[in-house]
Amino acid sequence: MGTHVFHIPELVANICSFLHKKDVSPLMRTCRRLYILCSFVFYKDIDMQAHADKSLSTSFDATRALLRNSVLVRTIKMDRRFSRIYLGGIWTRCQETGDPAITFFDWYLVAGGDRQDDAYADADTKSTTSFPVMTNLRQLHCIASLEQASSASDPIYDADTGISRLYMLIDLNIHLSDLCLHALQITFGPQLYRLARTLSGIKALGSLSLHIQAYGKHTDKIVPAIFFACPQSVHTLDMDLSRSSRSSGSLTMTTMTTTDSGMDEMIEGDLLPRQDPLLNLACWNVKSKVPYNFDTLQSMLSHCPNVNKLEVPRLINTNDADIVARFIIDSCPRLTALSQQYSFSDVTGLLMAAISRVLPENTLKSVEFSGLDDPDDTLLFSLWPHFGSLSSIELLSCVEASSEVLQVLLCHCSALEALVVTSNEDSGPGIHLEDAVAGTWASNKLTRLQLTVMIPESGREAKMTLLERFYRQIGALVNLVVLDLRIATDEDERDEDEGYVTYKEKLFPGLLKLGNATKNGADRGGYLDLLAGLTRLEQLRGSFNVDPRGEGSVMGQEECEWVWEHWPRLQVADFYPSHFKHGARFGLYGSVEELETERLDLPACFKWLGKQAPDLTFMTAL
């Protein structure tokens, strides 16, 4: 076996690639040599939407350092603040117009930056260095809406110019393979053509994600225009199109179409629609609140022979669902996954059901539907021919689905890896406990399970018998990564403070207690041992409140030691959901250390667990 001898720079770069940024940062501050060696690793991938890189947009010095090293950036996910700062300041006004110099510091403050103290050197606040343009990007995620707090007439701020600079930034990054633009405001006409022309020039583009707010007339033509501008390299097309009657912020449609000379020069004839099919396109995730007609759908899907995942389109007329379904299958013969995130006029899933019936048996692998309101279970029964192939079923914000059908899915879908049924109401829909244990579940491959369970008000002994059978079913799912079980609540149920009781205040009886004998020989009737096989569990969500003020018993030291031993990968557990019930900290997670910072009096056993698993977080608010 040969030996590879690393030079010092190569060795440092390789080691740093395995370190977290919070560990690389101190190394960079050690000396100038290490700063240079570590810079590429540190600045190569920037994600301002993640907590670790947040300071790159909230700290003046960190933002300026990032701009100095922009040539090293390969992937960047900008947050709203940095999008404003960067897109508006790629060139300073003093260079463009000869106006009095506007400093980087001034621009940073106007565009949304925070001046955290008064310790900046005088030279820092007077620097007029222009913003460098990133030209080596492979991935760009950006907030295209340039709204900000200052006046729309502020001479430093110009949203129209900012959008033009965004397109220019994209044009300069010829190796871009992943592009995501959020809150992009456009109308049919020069704005749309400018966007389409920009997209057509990105020859290496693989993944395109656009979240568009459309204004004015002919909004139904926006999706086709973008589709026929996509380069042939695109394999994932993700669009979310909504229509609004007015624009927000300082972006004015009139000035956008009349003051931008680059857009004025562009006319529709400059844009040549792509004629060849998108042979690489595998994922069509085009969600549109603007319906289009069947002819428009035909013109696009006939170019997508290799699509395997399809967002079911919203058509103006769904009366001919069977005809549309047959066309879709003929155009996309490799189709294996369906989703429908905007149901609106088709809340029963009429078109999706028609597609499912037309597909060859055991072809469909994944189904996702938002807002299902199907009292007759038409959609779910249409999945019957695919029970041998379905690996993922997600019914999100479900309005109505019967418990019996959910039981059928559990007992007959032998390839199932994910079953998710959510609702906007804590009372359901869900599965009755009796139905959940009516038969043996067909799949032990489940990695994600999210269900609302309706527990009967019968006698304790009968109820605990059913619960034990249910817990055994859960314990057999040894591949579970995410377990989210919620107890259905009564719509009128109130707590001692007269507030509505939610599923997060409840605890599955006995599930988080061990069943071993106590010192006096009494059995505690716990069932935690039944979940010993869930060694891959990372998230425990739902009705697992161990707060002593809740209805369940508090976990003790033995249970905490058991969790540490049997669930070594656990990252999130909903053990403490109700401490900030009436506060403003909704949805916040925290480690034991963070909870103690909030002056919560945690039991000693949880403090012990927090030391053993410092990254384990608990929900702290409803």
Segment 259-268, tens digit of pLDDT: 333 333 333 4
Residues 6+ apart with CB under 8 A from 546: 507, 512, 552, 553, 554, 555, 575, 576
Tens of pLDDT, residues 559-569: 999 999 999 99
Q: How many domains does the chain have?
A: 2
pLDDT of 145 higher than 60: yes
User: Per-residue confidence at 191, pLDDT binned at 50, 70, 90?
Assistant: confident
Best CA proximity match to 262, nearest among 176, 333, 165: 165
pLDDT of 148 higher than 50: no
DSSP class per residue in 147-214: --SS-TT-TT--HHHHHHHHHHHHHH-TT--EEEEEEEEEETTHHHHHHHHHHHT-TT--EEEEEEEE
pLDDT of 218 higher than 50: yes
DSSP state of 281: -
Highest-pLDDT range among 89-93, 187-191, 390-394: 390-394
Q: H or E segment at 596? A: helix 592-597
**Cross-strand partners of 453:** 431, 487
- Alpha-carbon distance 138 to 406, whole Å? 43
Rounded to the nearest 5°, which phi and psi values hold at 351? -70, -40
Q: Are 219 and 188 in contact (CB under 8 A)?
A: yes
Q: Are 430 and 452 in contact (CB under 8 A)?
A: yes
For 441, other C-beta atoms within 10 Å of its C-beta total: 22
- pLDDT for the residue 401: 83
Alpha helices in 413-571 (DSSP H): 433-436, 460-475, 557-566
- pLDDT for the residue 4: 55
Q: Which of 289, 324, 341 marks a domain boundary? A: 289
Best CA proximity match to 511, nearest among 524, 493, 495: 524
Write the burial class of residue 565 (CB in 10 Å: 0-12 exposed, 13-18 middle, 19+ buried): exposed
Give percent of the chain with pLDDT exceeding 90: 36
Residues 6+ apart with CB under 8 A from 385: 356, 357, 359, 361, 362
pLDDT of 153 higher than 60: no
- pLDDT for the residue 90: 67
Tens of pLDDT, residues 263-282: 333 334 455 667 889 999 99
User: Per-residue confidence at 167, pLDDT binned at 50, 70, 90?
Assistant: confident
Q: Is the dihedral of CA 147, 148, 154, 159 positive or negative?
A: negative
Residue 65 lies inside a defined structural domain of this protein: no
pLDDT of 418 higher than 80: yes
- Cα 10 to the chain's mean position, in Å? 36
Residue 388 lies inside a defined structural domain of this protein: no
100 cis-preceded (ω within 30 degrees of 0): no
- Alpha-carbon distance 451 to 458, whole Å? 21
pLDDT of 187 higher than 60: yes
Residue 464 lies inside a defined structural domain of this protein: yes
For 99, other C-beta atoms within 10 Å of its C-beta total: 12
User: What number is the average pLDDT over the span 322-349?
Assistant: 90
- Degrees, nearest 5: CA angle 294-298-300: 120
Domain membership of residue 251 as a residue range: 136-289
Residue 105 lies inside a defined structural domain of this protein: no
Best CA proximity match to 534, nearest among 561, 492, 568: 568
- Cα 364 to the chain's mean position, in Å? 24
- Regarding whether 575 and 444 lie in a shared domain, the answer is yes
Torsion of Cα atoms, 231 then 233 then 238 then 241, to 10°:
0
- pLDDT for the residue 522: 45
pLDDT of 525 higher than 60: yes
Best CA proximity match to 103, nearest among 65, 74, 131, 83: 131
User: Per-residue confidence at 236, pLDDT binned at 50, 70, 90?
Assistant: very high
Which residue reads 């792509």 in tokens?
A: 274
pLDDT of 538 higher than 60: yes
Residues 6+ apart with CB under 8 A from 497: 581, 582
- Regarding whether 410 and 279 lie in a shared domain, the answer is no
- Regarding whether 275 and 414 lie in a shared domain, the answer is no
Tokens at residue 485, please? 């079980």
Residue 148 lies inside a defined structural domain of this protein: yes
- Alpha-carbon distance 160 to 156, whole Å? 12
- pLDDT for the residue 56: 76
Q: Are 621 and 585 in contact (CB under 8 A)?
A: yes
Amino acid, single-letter form, for residue 364: L
Q: Are 282 and 308 in contact (CB under 8 A)?
A: yes
Give percent of the chain with pLDDT exceeding 70: 69
Residues 6+ apart with CB under 8 A from 203: 174, 231, 233
Pair type for strands 139-143 and 178-187: parallel
Query: How much is the mean pLDDT over the chain?
Result: 78
Residue 10 lies inside a defined structural domain of this protein: no
pLDDT of 447 higher than 90: yes
- pLDDT for the residue 442: 95
pLDDT of 502 higher than 60: yes
Length of the chain, in residues: 622
- pLDDT for the residue 248: 45
Best CA proximity match to 162, nearest among 178, 148, 179: 148
b/e code 265-282 from CB counts within 10 Å (16+ = b): ebeeeebeeeeeebeebb
3-state secondary structure 370-395: ECCECCCCHHHHHCHHHCCCCCEEEE
Residue 396 lies inside a defined structural domain of this protein: no
Q: Which residue has the higher pLDDT, 262 or 431?
A: 431
For 471, other C-beta atoms within 10 Å of its C-beta total: 21
User: Per-residue confidence at 406, pLDDT binned at 50, 70, 90?
Assistant: very high
pLDDT of 19 higher than 70: no
pLDDT of 584 higher than 50: no
pLDDT of 329 higher than 70: yes
Tokens at residue 501, please? 């009781």
Q: Which of 289, 305, 340 marks a domain boundary? A: 289
Q: Are 393 and 413 in contact (CB under 8 A)?
A: yes
Q: What is the pTM of this model?
A: 0.81
As a 3-state breakdown, the chain gives helix, strand, coil percent values, each rounded to 5, of 35, 15, 45
Residue 503 lies inside a defined structural domain of this protein: yes
Q: Are 543 and 508 in contact (CB under 8 A)?
A: yes
User: Per-residue confidence at 104, pLDDT binned at 50, 70, 90?
Assistant: low
Q: Which of 234, 265, 289 marks a domain boundary? A: 289
- pLDDT for the residue 238: 96
- Regarding whether 426 and 550 lie in a shared domain, the answer is yes
- Regarding whether 283 and 425 lie in a shared domain, the answer is no
pLDDT of 126 higher than 50: no
Amino acid, single-letter form, for residue 367: V
Q: Rounded to a whole number, what is the largest CA-CA distance in the chain?
A: 88
- CATH number for the domain that contains residue 245: 3.80.10
- Regarding whether 410 and 555 lie in a shared domain, the answer is yes
- Degrees, nearest 5: CA angle 435-440-444: 120
User: Per-residue confidence at 124, pLDDT binned at 50, 70, 90?
Assistant: very low
pLDDT of 515 higher than 70: yes
Pair type for strands 392-396 and 366-370: parallel
User: What number is the average pLDDT over the span 165-177?
Assistant: 88
**R_g of the chain, CA atoms, integer Å:** 28
User: What number is the average pLDDT over the span 591-617?
Assistant: 77
- Regarding whether 281 and 413 lie in a shared domain, the answer is no
- pLDDT for the residue 308: 97
- Alpha-carbon distance 112 to 104, whole Å? 12
If phi > 0 it is left, if psi is from -120 to 50 it is alpha, else beta; for residue 8 that is: alpha
Q: H or E segment at 38? A: helix 32-44
